[in-house]
Amino acid sequence: MKYEDQQAHVAVSNTIDILQLPRNDVPLVTGIYFLIKDEKVVYVGQSVDIFTRVCAHRAKDFDSFTFLVYPRHLLNLAEASYILRFNPAMNGSLPPQNFFFSLAQLKRHLGWDMRKVKRHIRENGIPTRRRGNTLYCVAADFLNMIKEDDDD
């Protein structure tokens, strides 16, 4: 069975009903959860116990949530991907992972000035995503282009 076939997507329309269930009646689910307000993702998080974690967010302003099941070793990468995709207002920075790099991280890693980093991205058509004032790219896309340039 492929991993994609094991993913589950569940939308919960009445969050309060789920959050008030007795603990023994709530399943233990590992994955990525999305807090939703007025049909818009306002927060993306990860947990090895999604329902308990969502309960901890009661003070946040959301009217429903949904989640995707993910294995524990992919949580940071999946959360970062969804934060960049949805750009939710209540999220701060990306979780630790080695997939998405900010341009500042690339600059430090390579010892380049920022103009050179931006020129390399532009000239090679590397896709970027903005999160607040920070621009991110897929590290492998960027570093593979450098390797290809070195191989020539």
Domain boundaries, the chain: 3-86, 100-151
Structure tokens at 84: 């960049």
DSSP class of 56: T
For residue 45, the cross-strand partners are 33
Q: Mapping DSSP to helix (H, G, I), strand (E, B) and coil, where does residue 38 land?
A: coil
What is the CATH architecture assignment of 100-151? Orthogonal Bundle (1.10)
Check residue 143 and give its pLDDT. Answer: 75
- Rounded to an integer, what distance in angstroms lies between the CA atom of residue 137 and that of residue 124? 12
Domain 3-86 architecture: 3-Layer(aba) Sandwich (3.40)
In this prediction, residues 133-150 reach a mean pLDDT of 75
- The average pLDDT across 31-59 equals 91
**What's the pLDDT at 113?**
94
Q: Coil, strand or helix: which one is 101? A: strand
Mean pLDDT of the chain: 80
Against a cut of 0.85, is the pTM above it?
A: no
- Is pLDDT above 60 for 152? no
Task: List, for residues 84-131, the tens digit of each pLDDT value.
Answer: 988 899 998 888 888 888 999 989 988 999 999 999 999 988 888 888
Contact 121, 142 (CB under 8 A): yes
User: What share of the chain has pLDDT > 90, as a percent?
Assistant: 35
